[in-house]
């Protein structure tokens, strides 16, 4: 499989993709299913490595999965002695080492915060031609994965009120335009240099104690149910880059799809290659919903999984 997490991601994509389809697609998963696969990490300081899976392939970062995995790692004893009030869990994601801190008290795990890899605004006020919408000005930012950001109002939409289908169509058209018209690059690895999705926002980027809502459409028009941990990381980096948020100012980010919330703040200025970057802390909660055991029967014609679009 290769000995670094990024090469494991490449190997899974090239040789094990049938397993992702079995788990993420119907009848075991669904169009918007998301999965995390725990792997060994080559980093001595990592407690675990992880590959992220979605409807089309493998992402490089997933904040909502890191929040869930932080709790999971403590509860299932993947880390040495848990400590109160917080236990640190170092999770080696394809984008790099992410440090999660899991509330722990009287044997119970709680909320999780994590410090992600250096995040940076890649390009601001970029004009692209979007099919069906004409020229649209967008920002592009990196938070472990690259996202395009644009105010939903540009399309006459509202991230909390509009039909999900309309938001998905607009975001997907933007993603398609940016992918074909903007060349991305990442100072650490070419494997990180791709556009993962588009995040439509409510346009409230100036610091405010009020929550700001966004909806993330990623991979193959997949809709995130969370406020998007890597998206919050990228959005905070963008807001900080534009001088709209200062270090240690905490903002609340809400999913336009479900109303679930994360908080995010930039905690440190740093660099990523030539980019001025920030370390962003994202916090949220994850809950167990059950334990599943999947099987495949040889006679099952649909055993390999299928997707309805
Ligand atoms: O929270 C996140 O970062 C992820 N949620 C789905 C899309 C992203 O990978």
pLDDT of 2 strictly over 70: no
At 1 the pLDDT is 61
The predicted structure's pLDDT at residue 3: 77
Provide mean pLDDT across the span 128-135.
98
- Banded pLDDT at 309 (limits 50, 70, 90): confident
With a pLDDT cut of 90, the percent of the chain lying above it is 98
How far apart, in whole angstroms, are the C-alpha atoms of residue 39 and residue 23?
Answer: 16
Work out which ligand 1 atom sits closest to the CA atom of 233. Answer: 3
73-86 per-position pLDDT tens digit? 999 999 988 999 99
pLDDT confidence of residue 166? 98
Lowest pLDDT segment from 2-11, 204-213, 289-298: 2-11
Dump pLDDT digits (tens) for 196-248.
Answer: 999 999 999 999 999 999 999 999 999 999 999 999 999 999 999 999 999 99
What b/e string do you get for 238-252 counting C-beta neighbours within 10 Å, with b at 16 or more?
bbbbeebbeeebebb
Q: Out of 62, 93, 95, 216, pick the active-site residue.
A: 62
pLDDT score of 80: 83
Question: Whose C-alpha lies nearest to ligand 1, atom 8?
Answer: 62
Residue-averaged pLDDT of the chain: 97
For 180, how many CA atoms within 13 A lie in the half-sphere containing its CB? Answer: 9
The pocket around ligand 1, CB under 6 angstroms, is made up of 34, 59, 61-64, 216, 218, 224, 226, 228-231
pLDDT at 210: 98
Task: Tell me whether residue 62 is one of the annotated catalytic residues.
Answer: yes
Three-state DSSP at 26 gives strand
* pLDDT tens sequence across 151-190: 999 999 999 999 999 999 999 999 999 999 999 999 999 9
For tokens 């009287």, name the residue. Answer: 106
Ligand 1: distance of its center to the CA of 299 in Å?
35
How far apart are alpha carbons 10 and 35 in whole angstroms? 16
Q: Which residue's alpha carbon is nearest to atom 6 within ligand 1?
A: 224
Q: How far apart are CA 205 and CA 235, in angstroms?
A: 9
CA of 56 to the centre of ligand 1 (A): 14
């Amino acid at each position: 499989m290769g000995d670094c997490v990024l090469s494991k991601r490449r190997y899974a994509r090239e040789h094990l993709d049938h397993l992702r389809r079995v788990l993420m697609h119907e009848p075991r998963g669904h169009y918007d299913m998301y999965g995390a696969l725990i792997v060994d990490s080559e980093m001595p300081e990592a407690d675990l490595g992880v590959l992220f899976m979605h409807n089309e392939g493998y992402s490089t970062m997933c904040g909502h999965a890191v929040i869930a995995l932080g709790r999971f790692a403590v509860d299932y004893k993947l880390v040495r002695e848990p400590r109160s009030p917080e236990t640190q869990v170092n999770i080696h994601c394809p984008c790099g080492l992410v440090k999660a801190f899991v509330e722990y008290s009287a044997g119970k795990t709680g909320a999780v915060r994590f410090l992600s890899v250096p995040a940076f605004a890649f390009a601001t006020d970029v004009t692209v031609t979007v099919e069906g919408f004409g020229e649209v000005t967008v920002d592009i930012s990196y938070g472990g994965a690259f996202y395009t950001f644009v105010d939903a109002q540009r399309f006459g939409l509202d991230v909390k009120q509009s039909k999900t289908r309309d938001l998905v169509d607009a975001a997907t058209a933007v993603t398609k335009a940016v992918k074909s018209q903007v060349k991305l690059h990442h100072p650490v690895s070419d494997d990180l240099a791709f556009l993962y999705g588009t995040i439509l926002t409510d346009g409230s980027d100036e610091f405010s104690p009020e929550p700001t809502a966004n909806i993330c459409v990623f991979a193959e028009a997949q809709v995130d149910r969370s406020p998007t941990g890597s998206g919050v990381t990228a959005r905070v980096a963008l807001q900080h880059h534009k001088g709209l948020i200062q270090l240690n100012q905490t903002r609340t980010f809400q999913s336009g799809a479900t109303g679930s919330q994360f908080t995010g703040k930039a905690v440190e200025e740093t660099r990523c290659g030539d980019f001025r970057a920030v370390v962003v802390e994202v916090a949220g909660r994850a809950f167990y919903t059950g334990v599943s055991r999947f099987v495949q029967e040889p006679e099952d014609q649909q055993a390999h999984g299928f997707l309805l679009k």
